[in-house]
Amino acid sequence: MGEKYLAIQQANINQLKKSGIEVLNLGRGNPDLPTFAPVVEKAKTALDNKVNHGYPPYGGKPALKETIKQFYQREYQVALEEDEITVFSGSAAALTALPMALADPSGVVLTPTPAFFGYHIGITMSGAEEWQMPLLERNDYLPELEKIPQAVRERAQMMFLNYPHNPTGAGATHAFFDKAVQFGLDNHIAIVHDFAYADISFEHQAPSFLQSKRAKETGIEIYTLSKTFNMAGWRSAFAVGNASIIKLLKAYIQNSVGGTFGVVQDASQYALETQIEERKQLRDTYLDRRNTVIQLLKTNQLSVSQSSGTFFVWLKLPEKITDDRRFAKSLLNNAHVAVVPGSAFGDAGQGYLRISLVADTATLASGINQLITYLKQYRE
Ligand SMILES: Cc1ncc(COP(=O)(O)O)c(C=O)c1O
Protein backbone atom coordinates (compact mmCIF):
# COMPACT_ATOMS: atom_id res chain seq x y z
CA MET A 1 0.00 0.00 0.00
CA GLY A 2 2.77 2.42 0.96
CA GLU A 3 4.72 1.60 -2.17
CA LYS A 4 1.67 2.35 -4.28
CA TYR A 5 1.28 5.69 -2.51
CA LEU A 6 4.92 6.57 -3.25
CA ALA A 7 4.56 5.63 -6.93
CA ILE A 8 1.52 7.93 -7.28
CA GLN A 9 3.34 10.70 -5.42
CA GLN A 10 6.40 10.33 -7.68
CA ALA A 11 4.20 10.61 -10.80
CA ASN A 12 2.71 13.77 -9.29
CA ILE A 13 6.21 15.19 -8.61
CA ASN A 14 7.29 14.42 -12.19
CA GLN A 15 4.21 16.18 -13.52
CA LEU A 16 4.92 19.31 -11.45
CA LYS A 17 8.56 19.32 -12.55
CA LYS A 18 7.52 19.00 -16.19
CA SER A 19 5.50 22.17 -15.85
CA GLY A 20 8.59 23.98 -14.55
CA ILE A 21 7.80 23.84 -10.82
CA GLU A 22 10.65 23.16 -8.39
CA VAL A 23 9.67 20.51 -5.83
CA LEU A 24 11.53 20.13 -2.54
CA ASN A 25 11.52 16.38 -2.08
CA LEU A 26 11.69 15.47 1.63
CA GLY A 27 9.99 12.14 1.04
CA ARG A 28 12.77 9.92 -0.26
CA GLY A 29 14.59 7.08 1.49
CA ASN A 30 17.57 7.17 -0.86
CA PRO A 31 20.81 8.67 0.56
CA ASP A 32 21.72 11.92 -1.25
CA LEU A 33 25.48 11.67 -0.70
CA PRO A 34 27.86 9.52 -2.79
CA THR A 35 29.56 6.32 -1.67
CA PHE A 36 32.80 7.10 0.21
CA ALA A 37 35.53 7.74 -2.43
CA PRO A 38 38.02 5.07 -1.20
CA VAL A 39 35.31 2.40 -1.57
CA VAL A 40 34.67 3.45 -5.17
CA GLU A 41 38.44 3.26 -5.87
CA LYS A 42 38.59 -0.22 -4.33
CA ALA A 43 35.76 -1.35 -6.62
CA LYS A 44 37.58 -0.05 -9.70
CA THR A 45 40.59 -2.26 -8.86
CA ALA A 46 38.36 -5.23 -8.05
CA LEU A 47 36.80 -4.95 -11.51
CA ASP A 48 40.13 -5.97 -13.09
CA ASN A 49 40.27 -9.15 -11.03
CA LYS A 50 39.11 -11.95 -13.37
CA VAL A 51 37.92 -14.04 -10.42
CA ASN A 52 35.14 -11.50 -10.08
CA HIS A 53 33.94 -12.13 -13.64
CA GLY A 54 32.63 -15.62 -12.84
CA TYR A 55 29.83 -16.78 -10.54
CA PRO A 56 30.56 -15.59 -7.01
CA PRO A 57 30.47 -18.11 -4.13
CA TYR A 58 26.87 -18.34 -2.85
CA GLY A 59 26.42 -16.91 0.61
CA GLY A 60 29.51 -14.72 0.29
CA LYS A 61 33.27 -14.88 -0.24
CA PRO A 62 35.14 -16.37 2.74
CA ALA A 63 37.23 -13.17 3.07
CA LEU A 64 34.11 -11.00 3.33
CA LYS A 65 32.57 -13.35 5.89
CA GLU A 66 35.76 -13.15 7.94
CA THR A 67 35.52 -9.35 7.83
CA ILE A 68 31.86 -9.47 8.92
CA LYS A 69 32.93 -11.63 11.85
CA GLN A 70 35.55 -9.07 12.87
CA PHE A 71 33.13 -6.19 12.27
CA TYR A 72 30.53 -7.65 14.65
CA GLN A 73 33.22 -8.39 17.22
CA ARG A 74 34.69 -4.89 17.00
CA GLU A 75 31.40 -2.95 16.85
CA TYR A 76 29.11 -5.05 19.04
CA GLN A 77 31.34 -7.54 20.89
CA VAL A 78 29.32 -10.35 19.29
CA ALA A 79 31.19 -13.53 18.28
CA LEU A 80 30.02 -15.21 15.08
CA GLU A 81 30.79 -18.54 13.43
CA GLU A 82 31.07 -18.92 9.67
CA ASP A 83 27.72 -20.74 9.40
CA GLU A 84 26.04 -17.83 11.20
CA ILE A 85 26.69 -15.41 8.32
CA THR A 86 25.29 -15.11 4.79
CA VAL A 87 25.74 -12.37 2.20
CA PHE A 88 23.18 -11.23 -0.40
CA SER A 89 22.33 -8.38 -2.75
CA GLY A 90 20.43 -5.89 -0.59
CA SER A 91 18.25 -6.61 2.42
CA ALA A 92 14.93 -6.24 0.56
CA ALA A 93 15.43 -9.68 -1.07
CA ALA A 94 15.99 -11.30 2.33
CA LEU A 95 13.06 -9.52 3.99
CA THR A 96 10.79 -10.91 1.27
CA ALA A 97 12.35 -14.38 1.34
CA LEU A 98 12.18 -14.90 5.10
CA PRO A 99 8.41 -15.24 5.59
CA MET A 100 8.35 -17.73 2.71
CA ALA A 101 11.14 -19.72 4.38
CA LEU A 102 9.83 -19.52 7.95
CA ALA A 103 6.04 -19.21 7.81
CA ASP A 104 3.21 -21.15 6.19
CA PRO A 105 -0.51 -20.62 5.51
CA SER A 106 -1.48 -21.88 8.98
CA GLY A 107 0.81 -19.36 10.65
CA VAL A 108 1.06 -15.72 11.67
CA VAL A 109 3.84 -13.21 11.06
CA LEU A 110 4.08 -10.36 13.57
CA THR A 111 4.99 -6.96 12.13
CA PRO A 112 5.28 -3.50 13.63
CA THR A 113 2.92 -0.74 12.51
CA PRO A 114 3.89 1.83 11.35
CA ALA A 115 6.67 0.09 9.44
CA PHE A 116 8.80 0.01 6.32
CA PHE A 117 6.82 -1.35 3.34
CA GLY A 118 9.21 -4.22 2.61
CA TYR A 119 7.76 -6.77 5.05
CA HIS A 120 4.30 -7.28 3.54
CA ILE A 121 4.91 -8.88 0.16
CA GLY A 122 6.84 -11.91 1.47
CA ILE A 123 4.11 -12.51 4.06
CA THR A 124 1.41 -12.39 1.38
CA MET A 125 3.36 -14.85 -0.77
CA SER A 126 3.93 -17.21 2.18
CA GLY A 127 0.15 -17.40 2.71
CA ALA A 128 0.60 -16.61 6.42
CA GLU A 129 -1.56 -14.07 8.20
CA GLU A 130 0.00 -10.73 9.16
CA TRP A 131 -0.69 -9.51 12.71
CA GLN A 132 0.35 -5.93 13.35
CA MET A 133 1.87 -4.76 16.61
CA PRO A 134 1.04 -1.06 17.14
CA LEU A 135 4.03 1.15 17.95
CA LEU A 136 2.78 4.07 20.01
CA GLU A 137 4.44 7.29 21.05
CA ARG A 138 3.59 6.67 24.73
CA ASN A 139 5.58 3.40 24.59
CA ASP A 140 8.55 5.01 22.82
CA TYR A 141 7.45 3.16 19.68
CA LEU A 142 8.30 -0.25 21.14
CA PRO A 143 5.66 -3.00 20.74
CA GLU A 144 3.85 -4.21 23.88
CA LEU A 145 4.70 -7.90 23.52
CA GLU A 146 2.69 -8.82 26.61
CA LYS A 147 -0.47 -7.58 24.87
CA ILE A 148 -0.18 -10.07 22.00
CA PRO A 149 -3.12 -12.47 22.55
CA GLN A 150 -2.36 -16.09 23.45
CA ALA A 151 -4.18 -17.36 20.35
CA VAL A 152 -1.92 -15.22 18.14
CA ARG A 153 1.25 -16.32 19.99
CA GLU A 154 0.33 -19.94 19.41
CA ARG A 155 0.13 -19.46 15.65
CA ALA A 156 2.98 -16.95 15.30
CA GLN A 157 6.01 -18.27 13.42
CA MET A 158 8.08 -15.15 12.97
CA MET A 159 8.34 -11.51 13.96
CA PHE A 160 9.91 -8.51 12.25
CA LEU A 161 11.55 -5.78 14.32
CA ASN A 162 13.40 -2.71 13.07
CA TYR A 163 15.45 -0.30 15.23
CA PRO A 164 16.54 2.45 14.68
CA HIS A 165 13.04 2.58 13.31
CA ASN A 166 11.77 3.69 9.93
CA PRO A 167 9.57 5.82 9.93
CA THR A 168 9.58 7.14 13.56
CA GLY A 169 13.33 7.41 14.20
CA ALA A 170 12.86 5.61 17.54
CA GLY A 171 15.60 3.43 19.03
CA ALA A 172 15.43 0.15 20.94
CA THR A 173 17.09 -0.63 24.26
CA HIS A 174 19.04 -3.70 25.35
CA ALA A 175 16.24 -4.37 27.84
CA PHE A 176 13.66 -4.45 25.05
CA PHE A 177 15.72 -6.84 22.93
CA ASP A 178 16.21 -9.09 26.01
CA LYS A 179 12.43 -9.19 26.37
CA ALA A 180 11.94 -9.90 22.66
CA VAL A 181 14.43 -12.80 22.80
CA GLN A 182 12.60 -14.30 25.78
CA PHE A 183 9.29 -13.86 23.96
CA GLY A 184 10.71 -15.60 20.89
CA LEU A 185 12.08 -18.49 22.94
CA ASP A 186 8.90 -18.94 25.01
CA ASN A 187 6.63 -18.94 21.97
CA HIS A 188 8.92 -20.58 19.37
CA ILE A 189 8.90 -17.49 17.18
CA ALA A 190 11.79 -16.67 14.83
CA ILE A 191 12.76 -13.03 15.23
CA VAL A 192 14.18 -11.06 12.32
CA HIS A 193 15.73 -7.75 13.30
CA ASP A 194 16.10 -5.35 10.37
CA PHE A 195 19.14 -3.24 11.34
CA ALA A 196 19.09 -1.05 8.20
CA TYR A 197 19.96 2.15 10.11
CA ALA A 198 22.39 0.45 12.50
CA ASP A 199 24.95 3.18 12.42
CA ILE A 200 22.69 6.20 12.23
CA SER A 201 22.04 6.63 15.93
CA PHE A 202 22.71 9.96 17.60
CA GLU A 203 22.71 9.65 21.39
CA HIS A 204 24.56 6.34 21.71
CA GLN A 205 25.42 3.34 19.60
CA ALA A 206 22.23 1.52 18.55
CA PRO A 207 22.11 -1.91 20.23
CA SER A 208 22.42 -5.01 18.09
CA PHE A 209 19.73 -7.64 18.64
CA LEU A 210 22.51 -10.23 18.88
CA GLN A 211 23.91 -8.55 21.99
CA SER A 212 21.03 -10.04 23.97
CA LYS A 213 21.82 -13.38 25.59
CA ARG A 214 20.43 -16.37 23.68
CA ALA A 215 19.41 -14.13 20.72
CA LYS A 216 21.07 -16.55 18.33
CA GLU A 217 18.75 -19.30 19.55
CA THR A 218 15.73 -17.45 18.24
CA GLY A 219 16.66 -15.03 15.50
CA ILE A 220 18.84 -13.18 13.06
CA GLU A 221 19.82 -9.63 12.29
CA ILE A 222 19.97 -8.13 8.80
CA TYR A 223 22.61 -5.50 8.09
CA THR A 224 22.74 -3.45 4.89
CA LEU A 225 25.43 -1.14 3.54
CA SER A 226 22.77 0.93 1.72
CA LYS A 227 22.34 3.65 4.31
CA THR A 228 25.37 3.63 6.60
CA PHE A 229 27.89 3.52 3.74
CA ASN A 230 25.82 5.43 1.11
CA MET A 231 25.80 2.26 -1.00
CA ALA A 232 22.08 1.86 -1.77
CA GLY A 233 22.73 1.30 -5.47
CA TRP A 234 25.36 -1.39 -4.93
CA ARG A 235 22.91 -3.85 -3.36
CA SER A 236 25.04 -5.20 -0.53
CA ALA A 237 23.75 -6.71 2.70
CA PHE A 238 24.21 -9.68 5.01
CA ALA A 239 22.43 -11.57 7.76
CA VAL A 240 23.94 -12.90 10.98
CA GLY A 241 22.63 -15.09 13.79
CA ASN A 242 20.77 -18.38 14.10
CA ALA A 243 22.56 -20.97 11.91
CA SER A 244 19.37 -22.82 10.86
CA ILE A 245 17.66 -19.62 9.69
CA ILE A 246 20.86 -18.53 7.94
CA LYS A 247 20.99 -21.88 6.13
CA LEU A 248 17.38 -21.52 4.91
CA LEU A 249 17.91 -17.95 3.81
CA LYS A 250 21.12 -18.83 1.97
CA ALA A 251 19.37 -21.68 0.09
CA TYR A 252 16.47 -19.42 -0.86
CA ILE A 253 18.70 -16.60 -2.12
CA GLN A 254 20.98 -19.02 -3.98
CA ASN A 255 17.99 -20.41 -5.88
CA SER A 256 16.37 -17.05 -6.61
CA VAL A 257 18.63 -14.02 -7.05
CA GLY A 258 21.90 -16.01 -6.81
CA GLY A 259 25.22 -14.65 -5.53
CA THR A 260 26.40 -11.06 -5.11
CA PHE A 261 28.81 -9.63 -7.73
CA GLY A 262 32.40 -10.16 -6.53
CA VAL A 263 33.31 -6.49 -7.06
CA VAL A 264 30.50 -5.45 -4.71
CA GLN A 265 31.70 -7.99 -2.15
CA ASP A 266 35.31 -6.77 -2.33
CA ALA A 267 34.22 -3.13 -2.00
CA SER A 268 31.91 -4.03 0.92
CA GLN A 269 34.72 -5.89 2.67
CA TYR A 270 36.97 -2.86 2.30
CA ALA A 271 34.19 -0.53 3.51
CA LEU A 272 33.50 -2.60 6.64
CA GLU A 273 37.22 -2.82 7.46
CA THR A 274 38.28 0.78 6.92
CA GLN A 275 35.50 3.38 6.74
CA ILE A 276 35.17 4.18 10.43
CA GLU A 277 35.86 7.94 10.31
CA GLU A 278 33.70 8.33 7.16
CA ARG A 279 30.75 6.67 8.90
CA LYS A 280 31.17 8.99 11.87
CA GLN A 281 31.16 12.02 9.56
CA LEU A 282 28.01 10.76 7.87
CA ARG A 283 26.32 10.35 11.25
CA ASP A 284 27.35 13.92 12.18
CA THR A 285 25.90 15.20 8.90
CA TYR A 286 22.53 13.60 9.64
CA LEU A 287 22.65 14.88 13.24
CA ASP A 288 23.18 18.41 11.97
CA ARG A 289 20.27 18.05 9.55
CA ARG A 290 18.04 16.52 12.22
CA ASN A 291 18.78 19.38 14.63
CA THR A 292 17.99 22.00 11.96
CA VAL A 293 14.63 20.40 11.15
CA ILE A 294 13.59 19.70 14.74
CA GLN A 295 14.53 23.18 15.91
CA LEU A 296 12.48 24.83 13.15
CA LEU A 297 9.47 22.64 13.91
CA LYS A 298 9.68 23.12 17.68
CA THR A 299 10.11 26.90 17.37
CA ASN A 300 6.77 26.82 15.60
CA GLN A 301 5.09 24.86 18.43
CA LEU A 302 4.81 21.66 16.40
CA SER A 303 4.92 18.28 18.10
CA VAL A 304 7.85 16.30 16.81
CA SER A 305 9.63 13.18 18.08
CA GLN A 306 13.29 13.65 18.95
CA SER A 307 14.35 11.00 16.38
CA SER A 308 17.24 9.22 18.08
CA GLY A 309 18.34 7.60 14.83
CA THR A 310 17.70 6.95 11.09
CA PHE A 311 17.48 9.84 8.62
CA PHE A 312 13.80 10.47 9.30
CA VAL A 313 11.85 12.89 11.47
CA TRP A 314 8.34 11.94 12.58
CA LEU A 315 6.02 14.94 12.83
CA LYS A 316 2.62 14.82 14.51
CA LEU A 317 0.10 16.88 12.60
CA PRO A 318 -2.01 19.40 14.56
CA GLU A 319 -5.36 17.96 15.74
CA LYS A 320 -7.37 20.01 13.22
CA ILE A 321 -5.90 17.84 10.41
CA THR A 322 -7.58 14.46 10.40
CA ASP A 323 -6.43 13.10 7.03
CA ASP A 324 -2.64 12.95 6.66
CA ARG A 325 -2.79 11.73 3.03
CA ARG A 326 -5.02 14.55 1.91
CA PHE A 327 -2.72 17.03 3.66
CA ALA A 328 0.47 15.57 2.06
CA LYS A 329 -1.11 15.71 -1.38
CA SER A 330 -2.28 19.27 -0.91
CA LEU A 331 1.16 20.27 0.46
CA LEU A 332 2.81 18.90 -2.67
CA ASN A 333 0.41 20.51 -5.12
CA ASN A 334 0.22 23.90 -3.42
CA ALA A 335 3.49 24.39 -1.49
CA HIS A 336 5.61 22.05 -3.64
CA VAL A 337 7.08 20.09 -0.75
CA ALA A 338 6.97 16.28 -0.84
CA VAL A 339 6.75 14.31 2.43
CA VAL A 340 5.26 10.87 3.13
CA PRO A 341 1.99 10.73 5.12
CA GLY A 342 2.30 8.49 8.19
CA SER A 343 -0.61 6.26 7.21
CA ALA A 344 1.38 5.08 4.15
CA PHE A 345 3.35 3.05 6.74
CA GLY A 346 0.24 1.49 8.27
CA ASP A 347 -2.81 2.52 10.26
CA ALA A 348 -0.85 3.49 13.36
CA GLY A 349 0.91 6.16 11.30
CA GLN A 350 -2.33 8.10 10.70
CA GLY A 351 -1.95 11.75 11.71
CA TYR A 352 1.83 11.96 11.17
CA LEU A 353 4.25 12.92 8.41
CA ARG A 354 7.67 11.40 7.71
CA ILE A 355 10.29 13.94 6.75
CA SER A 356 13.51 12.59 5.21
CA LEU A 357 16.87 14.16 5.97
CA VAL A 358 18.37 13.24 2.59
CA ALA A 359 18.88 16.81 1.40
CA ASP A 360 21.37 19.52 2.40
CA THR A 361 20.58 21.78 5.35
CA ALA A 362 19.57 24.77 3.20
CA THR A 363 17.09 22.67 1.18
CA LEU A 364 15.72 21.11 4.36
CA ALA A 365 15.26 24.52 5.98
CA SER A 366 13.42 25.87 2.90
CA GLY A 367 11.20 22.79 2.77
CA ILE A 368 10.36 22.95 6.46
CA ASN A 369 9.61 26.69 6.31
CA GLN A 370 7.26 26.12 3.37
CA LEU A 371 5.61 23.28 5.30
CA ILE A 372 5.15 25.46 8.40
CA THR A 373 3.65 28.31 6.37
CA TYR A 374 1.29 25.92 4.61
CA LEU A 375 0.22 24.28 7.87
CA LYS A 376 -0.88 27.67 9.22
CA GLN A 377 -3.17 28.36 6.26
CA TYR A 378 -4.44 24.82 5.63
CA ARG A 379 -8.15 24.04 6.14
CA GLU A 380 -9.55 20.57 5.54
C1 LIG B 1 13.82 -0.31 7.44
C2 LIG B 1 14.40 -0.64 6.11
N3 LIG B 1 14.78 -1.90 5.87
C4 LIG B 1 15.30 -2.28 4.69
C5 LIG B 1 15.44 -1.37 3.65
C6 LIG B 1 15.98 -1.85 2.33
O7 LIG B 1 17.36 -1.84 2.34
P8 LIG B 1 18.21 -2.44 1.13
O9 LIG B 1 18.71 -1.28 0.35
O10 LIG B 1 19.32 -3.19 1.79
O11 LIG B 1 17.34 -3.34 0.33
C12 LIG B 1 15.04 -0.05 3.85
C13 LIG B 1 15.14 0.91 2.73
O14 LIG B 1 14.55 1.95 2.68
C15 LIG B 1 14.52 0.33 5.11
O16 LIG B 1 14.12 1.58 5.36
Ligand 1 pocket test, pick from 120, 166, 312 with the greatest ligand atom count within 8 Å of Cβ, gives 166
Asked if residue 58 and residue 191 are part of one domain, the reply reads yes
CATH of residue 332 = 3.90.1150.10
Neighbouring residues of 4: CB distance < 8 A, sequence distance ≥ 6: none
Q: Which of 274, 305, 322 is the last residue of a domain?
A: 274
Angstrom distance (rounded) from CA 291 to CA 376: 22
pLDDT category at 374 given cuts 50, 70, 90 is: very high
Say yes or no to pLDDT of 210 above 80.
yes
Residues in the chain: 380
Average pLDDT over residues 99-110: 97
Asked if residue 62 and residue 141 are part of one domain, the reply reads yes
Question: Which residue's C-alpha comes closest to atom 7 of ligand 1?
Answer: 91
Atom of ligand 1 nearest to the CA of 90: 10
Asked if residue 241 and residue 184 are part of one domain, the reply reads yes
> pLDDT by residue (tens digit) across 218-250?
999 999 999 999 999 999 999 999 999 999 999
* pLDDT for position 264: 98
3-class secondary-structure state, position 148: coil
Atom of ligand 1 nearest to the CA of 95: 4
Are residues 293 and 355 in contact, defined by beta-carbon separation less than 8 angstroms?
yes
Containing 355, the helix (H) or strand (E) segment is: strand 352-356
CATH of residue 220 = 3.40.640.10
Ligand 1 pocket test, pick from 95, 135, 222, 226 with the greatest ligand atom count within 8 Å of Cβ, gives 226
Distance 194 CA to ligand 1 centre (A): 8
Ligand 1 pocket test, pick from 91, 161, 197, 234 with the greatest ligand atom count within 8 Å of Cβ, gives 91
Average pLDDT, the chain: 96
Angstrom distance (rounded) from CA 174 to CA 69: 21
Asked if residue 16 and residue 42 are part of one domain, the reply reads no
Residues spanned by the domain of 139: 37-274
Question: Which residue's C-alpha comes closest to atom 14 of ligand 1?
Answer: 29
Q: Cα dist. 163→35, 38, 112, 142, 194 in Å?
A: 23, 28, 11, 9, 7
Angstrom distance (rounded) from CA 27 to CA 324: 14
DSSP assignment of 237-293: EEEEE-HHHHHHHHHHHHTTT----HHHHHHHHHHHHH-HHHHHHHHHHHHHHHHHH
Say yes or no to pLDDT of 305 above 70.
yes
Angstrom distance (rounded) from CA 181 to CA 110: 14
Residues having CB closer than 6 A to ligand 1 are 29, 90-92, 116, 118, 162, 166, 194, 196, 224, 226, 232, 237
> pLDDT by residue (tens digit) across 47-65?
999 999 999 999 999 999 9
Distance 97 CA to ligand 1 centre (A): 14
Neighbouring residues of 254: CB distance < 8 A, sequence distance ≥ 6: 58, 59
Angstrom distance (rounded) from CA 359 to CA 315: 17
> pLDDT by residue (tens digit) across 19-37?
999 999 999 889 999 999 9
Give ∠ CA 87-211-120 in degrees, rounded to 5: 55
Distance 92 CA to ligand 1 centre (A): 6
Ligand 1 pocket test, pick from 160, 194, 221 with the greatest ligand atom count within 8 Å of Cβ, gives 194
Structural Rg of the chain based on CA atoms: 21
Q: Of 357, 291, 367, which is closest to residue 335 (Cα–Cα)?
A: 367
Amino acid 177 reads F
Asked if residue 207 and residue 143 are part of one domain, the reply reads yes
Neighbouring residues of 236: CB distance < 8 A, sequence distance ≥ 6: 87, 89, 90, 224, 225, 226, 260, 264, 265, 267, 268
Average pLDDT over residues 147-152: 98
Asked if residue 87 and residue 24 are part of one domain, the reply reads no
Domain count, the chain: 2
Asked if residue 306 and residue 262 are part of one domain, the reply reads no
Indicate if the alpha-carbon torsion angle 355, 356, 357, 360 is positive or negative: negative
Average pLDDT over residues 88-104: 96
Distance 30 CA to ligand 1 centre (A): 9
Q: Kindly tell me the number of DSSP H helices and DSSP E strands found in the chain.
A: 14, 13
Say yes or no to pLDDT of 106 above 90.
yes
Asked if residue 294 and residue 245 are part of one domain, the reply reads no
Asked if residue 290 and residue 147 are part of one domain, the reply reads no
* pLDDT for position 182: 98
* pLDDT for position 349: 95
Question: Which residue's C-alpha comes closest to atom 3 of ligand 1?
Answer: 196
DSSP assignment of 33-61: SPPPHHHHHHHHHHHT-GGGGSPPPTT--
Angstrom distance (rounded) from CA 100 to CA 63: 29
Distance 38 CA to ligand 1 centre (A): 23
Q: Which of 231, 246, 274 is the last residue of a domain?
A: 274
Average pLDDT over residues 249-269: 95
* pLDDT for position 246: 98
pLDDT category at 351 given cuts 50, 70, 90 is: very high
Angstrom distance (rounded) from CA 35 to CA 228: 10
Give ∠ CA 26-31-32 in degrees, rounded to 5: 75
> pLDDT by residue (tens digit) across 62-90?
999 999 999 999 999 999 999 999 999 99
Distance 306 CA to ligand 1 centre (A): 21
* pLDDT for position 41: 98
Are residues 168 and 252 in contact, defined by beta-carbon separation less than 8 angstroms?
no
DSSP assignment of 277-296: HHHHHHHHHHHHHHHHHHHH
Say yes or no to pLDDT of 1 above 70.
no
